[in-house]
Structure 1
Amino acid sequence: MTQIPEPEGSRLVDIVGFAYFAIAFIARLPFAMMVVGVLTLTVSVRGSISLGGLTSAAVGVGTACFGPLLGAAADRFGQRRVLSALALANGAMLVLFTLVVSASDADALVLLSAFGIGATAPQVAPMSRSRLVTAITERMPAARHPKAISATMAYESAADETVFVFGPFLVGILASFIAPWAPLVIAAALTVLFVGAFALHPTARAISTHRDADGRAPSPASALLSPGLLVVVLGVVGVGMFFGTMLTSLTSFMADRGEPEQAGVLYGVMGVGSAALALGVAWLPPRFSMRARWLVFASVLFAGTLLLPFVDTPAMMMLALGIMGIGIGPTLVTQYSLGAARSPLGRSATVMTMLGSGTVVGQSLGAAVGGWVSEQAGTSTALLLPVVAAGIALLGAILNRPLSASGLTRAA
């Protein structure tokens, strides 16, 4: 096993290096651009919102099928080998999709290539969480683990919030000022360069001490199907569905007012507040348990969505988005913290990738359904979908309460 050569007990930034955070942040941007970029290009070239929704869903299906397997491979063989291969494969698939959607009339080929994008997606965010949790638990004193893990999950979720807001915005800018294919080509370049750099970073050599010489984990794979983990996966799927349905219904809302390009600006209102509050989770008192946090902040998110059926002006929409932003960031932080706390020994990358896949699957499904409903039934009906998605996240919090063992009720 190769350890990161830093003194035990130092700060996390001293252990992994400042450059790590910059590389990991940029490397996760293409992942946030995939779903919207595929949707934008397909609708632009084919003129079909329904096909665009299906291609977005195909990306999510590919991620759902292969994401956890890639996480398991990273746990077994190390992140460096897995991510190096994925950086090249995913970059190639992104470019291939831009060619297929323009050159082929066969919808099946378009959907297959979109599936390939999701299947090869290098999920940097879950891999980063796994690396940092491993660094904390194996290189810091045990007394510092709870606060360090909480702060790390807060930062990682804030970074996710930022790229998931900035990603669609960047897709819109590039598609408008260059060409509809530009976002995916640029995402391919970022994938090769920055995911490659993330794969080659020294932290990628660190392997959990819980793995034996053959790379096997002490806990069986069946431990990944424990109710405590599955309910967290349900929760992050609900959050992902909220992202997808909120963006598509908001776009439809602004399109009805002749300003569809302003949807990203309004969406940013929620994203900025969400990211700020996600960072603030690290300073919440330990007695405010994780199961209580999930329930409280998911309730705030759900309450904010209940305003959507009554929104009739952009100003009212901004108010609703601001309230939802208070709930969404801390909810996501808490879900990932619970996932880290409940990870079976030696399977942290697998668990984090399961949660990352759940977010993308939910986003893809939400975008596909939201686009179809907006087109077929109108904006008023589409605005009900975020209510359903937030309800799923809240349902996960309710189901989680009896599943939280005494050792998991304190904030990680």
Structure 2
Amino acid sequence: MTTTTDTRPPSLIRATGFGYFPIALLARLPFAMMVVGVLTLVVSARGDIALGGLNSALTGLGTAVFGPLIGAAADRLGQRRIVLLCGIVNSLALVAMSWVVFSTLPDAVVLAVAFVIGATAPQVSPLSRSRLVGVITRHLPEDRRAKTFNGTMAYESAADEIVFVFGPFLVGLLATTMNPAAPVIGAAVLTLIFVTAFAYHRTGRALTGADGRPERVVQAAASELFHIRVTTVTVGVLGMGLFFGAMLTTLTSFLADRGEPEAAGLIYGVMGIGSAIFALAVAWFSPRFTLRARWLTFAVILVVGSALLPLMDTTGGVALALALAGIGVGPTLVTQYSLGAERSPLGRSATVMTMLGSAVIVGQSASAALVGVLAESAGTAAAMMTPATAAGIVLAAGIVNWFLGKR
């Protein structure tokens, strides 16, 4: 009797199983549908655009406040039970929204449900990054870790770009072909199916010792989360969120002036597609092109693309500026998340990843609101200056990070 031994070198896909990646991709889709879905539903059901915007803002606020707490709980208790609990409660909240918004209950109740939807949103994207970093560290030989880590962060950022382009498109498709509640109910169903599958995937198991009991969690002090090496990355990611909100709001104002506001999503997608492509390209960068050099390089491209925006007076020109900015977006985010993973204090990887994810949401929500007020009061020309300002924050944080890296 002969036995065969698998002599193939270990890889991330073999360590996780191929099924992990489609599950993790689809599990983050409901999150990309929530904010736009809630906005569409509230505006349709209650006929109040301002109320719809406020509900979307509260959904984002709930995620920003509770996202890091969910990450901290996952670090302490393991991802499986936390993700499963969030998925169940979030699905119920989404279904509740589809009923409450058509009821005679006051607007305050609708706003409260929107906040709960955001607060219980399963943090699939940052938790997936945390899982994969752990798998790479535990299962891959040291000489393969750096390249695999680089490619993994590139894939994760590209996956985020894909779902955040496709999610709003799916919301629009369901809302127009079925009814305004369909996107929210669809997000609830997707959450129950794929977030549950993500929770139960073997990569979500808590580590166990030789006796089969869960290993004692060893964590660095919480104060380490506020070390300058971590906060610099957080500020950089916050700048990216500010950029996203400013760019989308500015673009909407620009196209509304020309009587075609419905084209905002299509033109914005020019930046998203380019961003995803260049995010994936990071996997092929030479190790000699260091993370701190990448941040500076692509932040400069982001600034240049944003600075060109006020000079454009045609839709084609604006699309060109967005395409150039998109070259800087994806690689900058990949680099920031890579630095966040590297600098996570012991036992607090999920916390840091959810902090970064929340920073994007806080920046996006805040800048969308502020730039919207600016565009309304001072006009589109003033609003078109704001993306470059946000890109400047990203670049400034990258400069600080450069000197931290040298130390």
TM score, norm. by length of structure 2: 0.92
Structure 1 residues 287 and 356: alpha-carbon distance in aligned structure 2, compared to 1, 3 A threshold:
same
Distance 1:208 1:76, change over 3 A: farther
Q: Displacement, 1:214? A: 6.0
In the alignment, the residues of structure 1 paired with residue 60 and residue 296 of structure 2 have an alpha-carbon distance, to the nearest angstrom, of: 27
Map 1:288-367 → 2, pairs under 5 A: 288-367=289-368
Deviation (angstroms), 1:247: 2.0
Describe the shift of the 1:208–1:167 C-alpha distance in structure 2 as closer, same or farther (beyond 3 A).
farther
Letter in 2 for 1:398: I
Aligned to 2:124: 124
Q: 2:3: which partner in 1?
A: none
Are residues 219 and 240 of structure 1, via their aligned partners in 2, closer, same or farther at CA, if it must alter by over 3 Å? same
Shift of 1:344: 0.9
Look up the match of 1:159. Answer: 159
Deviations 1:248-274 (A, max 9, x none): 322232233333222222111111111
Distance 1:347 1:235 in 2: 19
Residue type matched to 1:278 in 2? Answer: A
In the TM superposition, residue 93 of structure 1 has moved relative to its aligned partner by: 1.4
Match of 1:217 in 2: 218
Please report how far the alpha carbon of residue 206 of structure 1 lies from its aligned counterpart in structure 2 after TM superposition. 4.7
When the two chains are superposed, the root-mean-square deviation of aligned CA atoms in Å is 2.2
Q: Deviations over 1:309-339 (max 9, x none)?
A: 2222111111011101100000000000000
Q: TM-score scaled by structure 1?
A: 0.90
Shift of 1:242: 1.9
Deviation at 1:345, TM superposition (A): 1.4
- Contact 2:279–2:334 (CA under 8 A) maintained in structure 1: yes
Deviation at 1:16, TM superposition (A): 0.6
Task: For residues 205-260 of structure 1, give each alpha carbon's deviation from its aligned partner in whole angstroms, at most 9, with x where no partner exists.
Answer: 15399xx9564324111111111111111111111222222223222322333332
**Given the superposition, is the C-alpha separation of residues 199 and 213 from structure 1 closer, same or farther in structure 2, using an over 3 Å criterion?**
closer
Q: Which amino acid aligns with 2:224?
A: A
Deviations 1:104-139 (A, max 9, x none): 563332322221111101010111101110000111
CA, structure 1 residues 260+172, in 2 after alignment: closer, same or farther (shift >3 Å)? Answer: farther
In the alignment, the residues of structure 1 paired with residue 46 and residue 250 of structure 2 have an alpha-carbon distance, to the nearest angstrom, of 21
Given the superposition, is the C-alpha separation of residues 32 and 248 from structure 1 closer, same or farther in structure 2, using an over 3 Å criterion? same
1:3 maps to what in 2?
none
Does structure 2 retain, via aligned residues, the 8 Å contact 1:59–1:364?
A: no
C-alpha offsets along residues 60-117 of structure 1, whole Å, 9 cap, x if unaligned? Answer: 2211221111111111111110111111111111222233333256333232222111
Structure 1, unmatched stretches of 5+, are 1-5, 407-412
One-letter amino acid of the counterpart of residue 64, structure 2: A
Equivalent residue for 1:393? 394
Percent same amino acid at aligned positions? 58
Verify: 1:382 aligned to 2:383, yes or no: yes
1:1-58 CA distance string (max 9 Å, x none): xxxxx99951111111111100100111111122222223333334444333322221
Cα distance change of structure 1 residues 41 and 393 upon mapping to structure 2, 3 Å threshold: farther
Contact 2:208/2:214, CA 8 A, preserved across alignment: no
- Within a 5 Å distance, the mapping from 1:23-42 to structure 2 comes to 23-42=23-42
User: Residues 178 and 213 from structure 1, CA distance in 2 versus in 1: closer, same or farther, beyond 3 angstroms?
Assistant: closer
Query: Which structure's CA Rg is the greater one?
Result: 2
Structure 1 residues 176-185 or 148-157, which shifts more?
176-185
Q: Which runs of 5+ in 2 are unaligned?
A: 1-5
Tell me which residue corresponds to 1:168. Answer: 168
Report the counterpart of residue 272 of structure 2 in structure 1.
271
In the superposition, relative to structure 1, how do residues 34 and 378 fare at CA in structure 2: closer, same or farther (>3 Å)?
farther
Partner SS for 2:122: coil
3-state DSSP of counterpart to 1:306: helix
Could you say which residue in structure 2 is the equivalent of 1:261? 262
